[in-house]
Amino acid sequence: MILMIEIKGLQNLVKYSYHPPGDKSISHRVAILGALSNDWLNITNFSQGKDCFTTISCLQEIGIPIEVDGTTVKIYPWKKLKNKVNLDCGNSGTTARLLPSILGGLNIEGVLFGDSSLSQRPMERVITPLKKLGGILEGTDGKLPIKVERGWRLRGEKLELQIPSAQIKSAILLAGLFASNPVIVKESKVTRNHTEIMLKEFGINLEVKEREITIYPGKLVSPREYHVVGDFSSAAYFIALGLLSKEEIIEIRDVGLNPTRTAFLEVITKMGAKIQIINEKVIHGEKMGDIKVFPSTLKGIEVSEDLIPNIIDELPLLGVLASFAQGTTKVVKAGELRVKESDRIKGTVENLKKFGVNIMELEDGFIVQGGNKLRGREIYCHKDHRIVMAMTVAALFSEGNTKILDSQWVNISNAPFFKEIKKIAPNSIIDLSVRD
């Protein structure tokens, strides 16, 4: 079953204050830490993305008592856990890469599997470091399913990560909770640090020195109340709408502003974006605030290699913005895009070419010649939520109509996305149908 949405381009946009849904990365992590803690935890503004509910379902399957009421999730202390489980990780890479540490730490035998997309993603990158710590687990040709055995004897080690990945780092830190001695992780490049911030919020002794993190084994202490800040990656699409519009139409409210997540702001500012951050504050160690967005004339740039790990989710959207910019935009050293939910380099290039964009595919990125006049087309987003949302932005500023054939995949991270788009572009979505 395919959900097709048709978008009429170049329609008037209306002023709107956008409250992004709860942060997807933080929601995964707070659910996991809450499940391991010593007391109940009430989580508000929990992400409505399908991936986060996959993590909830897996924790429930293990035996964690969890109640869900809309955006509120309540986790209770567990009394007895299962000895053996099969965990369906769906499309969620975070679930598949973080939960082996939890199964091993809690001495649970299990098999983790996923859908056809997740089953093609690399898992050896997380299996190998866990084995070095004493974990007993095996993948299937370096992918899912992953089989976790009982009897882990985790020890303190220093591990150096060659792949800049917050998921790998987080898997190691979670395993470190159950180790006999401190575990040290050294990153090749700084990645998003939600896990480190949250571990401290849950009372864990953790030291961070530049790219080196030391975690001391310990028991988690629930803060009892935890509010998830707005998801910056979801907000980025609405920031793009504000930049490309003719009039000031958008303000983003209560969005997470963690510096390891906002490289997108740094890149678009270099492109000429006019934005203003106001009402900044800190909640549970996470920065948040509001962003005012103004119509801007953008210019092409070469994106710094050091920023790539912290803009990886926004790179397809950056390709869209580069299409409307003046001059050339070059993105390299972004090979990780090829092993996300889809090959995002291929998907971005393929679809922007359909719109009429002058874009060249590279092995590890793309080059966009800006100043394009986009025309609506029928496009397929390879079952990838990030590409669906990026191409929606392109469609709204294209001549004619665009049909997105697999728009339902937006539910992976941002289920209310098209509902919010209709509020800012009420005359643009003209068809919503199911096709076999």
What confidence tier does 436 reach under pLDDT thresholds 50, 70, 90? very low
In this predicted structure, what is the pLDDT of residue 80? 94
Q: What is the pLDDT of residues 254-307, one digit of tens each?
A: 999 999 999 999 999 999 999 999 999 999 999 999 999 999 999 999 999 889
C-alpha span between 381 and 309 (Å, rounded): 22
Q: Average of pLDDT values for 325-345? A: 91
340 is in an annotated binding site: yes
Measure CA of the first residue to CA of the last residue in the chain; give whole Å. Answer: 5
C-alpha span between 326 and 312 (Å, rounded): 23
More confident residue, 342 or 369: 369
Same domain, 262 and 382: yes
Instruction: Specify the pairing of strand 84-88 against strand 2-8.
Output: unpaired
Half-sphere exposure of 408 (CA within 13 A, CB side): 9
Same domain, 350 and 425: yes
Same domain, 300 and 379: yes
Instruction: Specify the pairing of strand 2-8 against strand 41-44.
Output: unpaired
Any idea which residue has 């997309």 for tokens?
117
Same domain, 139 and 198: yes
296 is in an annotated binding site: no
313 is in an annotated binding site: yes
Any idea which residue has 């740039």 for tokens?
301
Neighbours of 94 (CB within 10 A): 22
CA 419 to chain centre: 20
The catalytic site residues sit at 313
Any idea which residue has 């092409």 for tokens?
300
Query: Hey, what are 250's tokens?
Result: 């958008």
Q: Any bridge partners for residue 287, and if so which?
A: 282
Same domain, 209 and 118: yes
In this predicted structure, what is the pLDDT of residue 4? 85
Q: Average of pLDDT values for 47-53? A: 96
Same domain, 35 and 150: yes
97 is in an annotated binding site: no
C-alpha span between 286 and 306 (Å, rounded): 22
Last residue of one domain, picked from the residues 206, 227, 248: 227
Last residue of one domain, picked from the residues 227, 251, 269: 227
CATH number of the CATH domain containing 162:
3.65.10.10
Same domain, 14 and 45: no
C-alpha span between 297 and 318 (Å, rounded): 14
Please, what is the Cα angle at 319 between 317 and 321, to 5 degrees? 75
In the predicted structure, residue 337 carries a pLDDT above the cut 90: no
What pTM did the predictor assign?
Answer: 0.95
**Mean pLDDT of all residues in the chain?**
95
Q: Is the dihedral of CA 110, 411, 93, 168 positive or negative?
A: negative
CA 215 to chain centre: 24
Element (DSSP H or E) covering residue 40: none
Half-sphere exposure of 29 (CA within 13 A, CB side): 28
Last residue of one domain, picked from the residues 197, 227, 257: 227
Same domain, 104 and 212: yes
Same domain, 402 and 322: yes
In this predicted structure, what is the pLDDT of residue 340? 80
Same domain, 391 and 302: yes
In the predicted structure, residue 1 carries a pLDDT above the cut 70: no
Q: What is the pLDDT of residues 7-27, one digit of tens each?
A: 999 999 999 999 999 999 999
Burial of 404 (0-12, 13-18, 19+ CB in 10 A): buried
Same domain, 150 and 29: yes
Q: What is the pLDDT of residues 368-413, one digit of tens each?
A: 999 999 999 999 999 899 999 999 999 999 999 999 998 999 988 8
Domain count, the chain: 2
Percent of the chain with pLDDT over 90: 90
- Domain range holding 251? 2-21+229-435
Same domain, 267 and 193: no
326 is in an annotated binding site: no
Least confident of 154-158, 168-172, 332-336: 332-336
